[in-house]
Chains A and B, each alone.
Chain A
């Protein structure tokens, strides 16, 4: 199989890149995604606040994704969902796997729009046991909003990036007790807007210059040790769930060994982590054009 432009990842950036490449005249575009719906992580972001710049109004994640998907429908961009890209070779072939078989796809140019993954707690030198009940924020969001899975009840959030702040609010609204949001820096990590909307109105305690040093519990997590970084004081608190928002790592594993060939373009969060979907989309539109020239 052959395509002129392969785009990996049908999230906001991938769809925007596909649309702008189409508008720039590219007529042979294949957009692949491992999920079974387009939108990347947008469908799990049920809150409002997306799209002020691009659409002039505040959309929820699913409707933002829907806007892009609708625009894609009136193009001939082919969308292959439920498709995992297993490898990218330097001779411009991609190896795709789906439920029908393995496909070697030759392409002229590639836009990688594979987003990021969340840093997991395993990466931190945290002592203690390794019980159940520890999730990343994005994972908890997917569990609650797309799968109807309940992460737990007495919840501590480690990390105050946007995902941590937004999940704090969602958990409170779902009737959970968010014990605190814990942040090692002196200031919360996310946007001021998210702090004002998600933390302040619900009076969720924010503990800055604080971190988790030890996890307790056999079977399910029963608590953690918090350390105040300035005083060195430690305190043990009980919780049945720990949600981590430790930061996002651009997912570039597929192209790690390829260097920087002229046929490879990065777009969206795998290029750099964006605060706003709109800015990822704007960048992806530029890259879609660039990849078409």
Chain B
């Protein structure tokens, strides 16, 4: 049995940030993740927007955390050494009804103190963003909106937590929770943990994890959504995040110019689906909306489509809940159940919020040695010629481009593996290899060899992501 102060269940964005913020206190923390890597569930597929916060009810936790989190986002990404693009957002209306919705959002935003909000005329919006369709009647401009790579953020938080003493336990699935003398006993497929407090960030399973010991008043009704990614070379991409508020009140569309330079389009919405499987209807919906709002896009520039799952919190009577749900069924037990938009924006704030409560319950002292700075993988792509040349002189692997679409070198892939990537997707999420227009068809085979060599296993054992996703057949050809 392993004894720690706090067990954090779930290594998604929220769990990683909860663990990182718990490290600000003198606590021994274990972060349990059922899968082979962190950020493989909800965190790996979403709209990647850092919201300005004008949408939420004044006085709600969402409103408070979102506006504050947005203001702190530059500092957070500087501290964690990852790219953040504060590109601003334009929410578009094409008629009177949606104009009124935008005006309400604008006023709500003002009352929440969202900085820089402006209501623009259609001409003004088109002046800012020439790629927009004709007929925009008004637009809500939020200069503080931005975008970040969600899994890069989560992985950075996890690395920061581990650097500050948190213990990361991968491939560790929670099977049962009971009481112990200290507080709680967590039974996993990798042994027992005993702890004084539990922070449950189990994402889509958070309600079921809480029910291992306590009843849950809130349940998760997942729904799925589909997205498209257009190549960074696509023409007529917007430079702001474009959000479309349809006149009929239906589902809109977001177009996000990502930090990698591609364009993310979506989401569609499908109720009651748990599967990360793309639907044909969802794809046509996104394509149709994109063509309507950004008619200059050529959707043949699509390089990938994917599905996301969102954890909608529901009360036992089935009614949906608009606010963040933090269940606290026992003095030492907290559950984040059904944290959806703006969960990415608020991940650090939620983690801080929880960590403070846990620390106060455990009477923990401040960890004076906490250092929030984390260094990201040195990416050749963003370097000046001088820097890049110096890097190659120091390490020849920096000169060998492995993924030619995204300009990722052998040195970066090796560093991803050194930092814990054991799968192709693990490397992709850490350094971007295989994310570009050829979708890994030119680098995957090299990465398989590199992973096998570094991990000391056969190439046939290398997986795309989780167990059972072996990429190669079993037979080896001899040349």
Q: A residues within 8 Å of B by Cβ?
A: 34, 82, 84, 86, 95, 97-102, 104, 117-118, 120-123, 125-133, 135-136, 138-139, 142-153, 174, 213-214, 218-220, 240-241, 253, 256
Query: Residues of B contacting A131 with CB < 8 Å?
Result: 464, 469
**A–B pairs, 24, beta carbons within 8 Å:** A34-B404, A95-B385, A100-B396, A102-B388, A102-B399, A117-B441, A120-B438, A122-B302, A123-B302, A127-B277, A127-B278, A127-B279, A128-B277, A129-B275, A149-B459, A149-B476, A150-B472, A150-B474, A150-B475, A214-B280, A219-B465, A219-B469, A220-B469, A241-B473
Complex contact A97–B470 (CB within 8 A): no
Complex contact A122–B442 (CB within 8 A): no
> Which chain B residues numbered 262 to 286 have a C-beta less than 8 Å away from chain A?
275-280, 283-284
Most interface-central of A102, A126, A138 (chain B CB within 10 A): A102
> Which chain B residues numbered 459 to 479 have a C-beta less than 8 Å away from chain A?
459-460, 463-479
Q: What is the distance, in angstroms, from A172's C-beta to the closest C-beta of chain B?
A: 15
Considering the complex of A and B, which 4 residue pairs feature the smallest CB-CB distances, nearest first?
A: A219-B468, A132-B464, A150-B473, A122-B304
A128 to B282, alpha carbons, bound, how many Å?
A: 11
Q: Report if B448 contacts A (CB, 8 A).
A: yes
Asked if A149 meets B477 with Cβ closer than 8 Å, knowing A97-B401, A102-B389, A138-B441, the reply is: yes
Query: Residues of A contacting B474 with CB < 8 Å?
Result: 150
A70 to B444, alpha carbons, bound, how many Å?
A: 31
Query: Residues of B contacting A253 with CB < 8 Å?
Result: 233
A117 to B473, alpha carbons, bound, how many Å?
A: 24
A82 to B13, alpha carbons, bound, how many Å?
A: 38
Q: What is the distance, in angstroms, from B397's C-beta to the closest C-beta of chain A?
A: 8
Give the size category of B's interface with A. 35 or more
13 new A-B pairs (CB below 8 Å) besides A86-B407, A132-B463?
A101-B399, A102-B399, A120-B303, A123-B300, A127-B277, A131-B469, A149-B472, A150-B473, A150-B475, A150-B477, A152-B472, A219-B464, A219-B469
> Which chain B residues numbered 368 to 393 have a C-beta less than 8 Å away from chain A?
385, 388-389, 392-393
Nearest opposing residue in chain A for B464, CB measure: A132
A135 to B275, alpha carbons, bound, how many Å?
A: 23
Asked if A150 meets B233 with Cβ closer than 8 Å, knowing A129-B276, A129-B277, the reply is: no
A174 to B475, alpha carbons, bound, how many Å?
A: 10
Query: Residues of A contacting B401 with CB < 8 Å?
Result: 34, 84, 86, 97
Q: Report if B310 contacts A (CB, 8 A).
A: no
> Which chain B residues numbered 416 to 461 have a C-beta less than 8 Å away from chain A?
437-439, 441-442, 444-445, 448-449, 459-460
A96 to B473, alpha carbons, bound, how many Å?
A: 36
Nearest opposing residue in chain A for B286, CB measure: A125
Query: Residues of B contacting A133 with CB < 8 Å?
Result: 471
Query: Residues of B contacting A125 with CB < 8 Å?
Result: 280, 283-284, 287, 302, 305
Complex contact B393–A130 (CB within 8 A): no
Complex contact A174–B477 (CB within 8 A): yes
Complex contact B392–A100 (CB within 8 A): yes
Q: Report if B123 contacts A (CB, 8 A).
A: no
Q: Report if B306 contacts A (CB, 8 A).
A: yes
Q: Report if B129 contacts A (CB, 8 A).
A: no
A97 to B460, alpha carbons, bound, how many Å?
A: 31
A101 to B300, alpha carbons, bound, how many Å?
A: 36
Q: Report if B400 contacts A (CB, 8 A).
A: yes
A28 to B460, alpha carbons, bound, how many Å?
A: 46
Complex contact A120–B439 (CB within 8 A): yes
A84 to B380, alpha carbons, bound, how many Å?
A: 13
A59 to B411, alpha carbons, bound, how many Å?
A: 38
Query: Residues of B contacting A127 with CB < 8 Å?
Result: 277-280, 283
Q: What is the distance, in angstroms, from B465's C-beta to the closest C-beta of chain A?
A: 8
A243 to B401, alpha carbons, bound, how many Å?
A: 25
Complex contact B441–A150 (CB within 8 A): no
Q: What is the distance, in angstroms, from B407's C-beta to the closest C-beta of chain A?
A: 7
Query: Residues of A contacting B475 with CB < 8 Å?
Result: 150
Partner of A101, one of B389, B437, B479: B389
Q: What is the distance, in angstroms, from B369's C-beta to the closest C-beta of chain A?
A: 39
Complex contact B473–A118 (CB within 8 A): no
Query: Residues of A contacting B476 with CB < 8 Å?
Result: 148-150
Query: Residues of A contacting B279 with CB < 8 Å?
Result: 127
Per-residue CB contact flags for chain B residues 233-244 toward chain A (1 = under 8 Å, else 0) read 100000000000
A213 to B277, alpha carbons, bound, how many Å?
A: 12
Q: What is the distance, in angstroms, from B468's C-beta to the closest C-beta of chain A?
A: 3
Asked if A122 meets B303 with Cβ closer than 8 Å, knowing A101-B393, A148-B479, the reply is: yes
Asked if A218 meets B399 with Cβ closer than 8 Å, knowing A102-B392, A125-B280, A132-B463, the reply is: no
Query: Residues of A contacting B287 with CB < 8 Å?
Result: 125
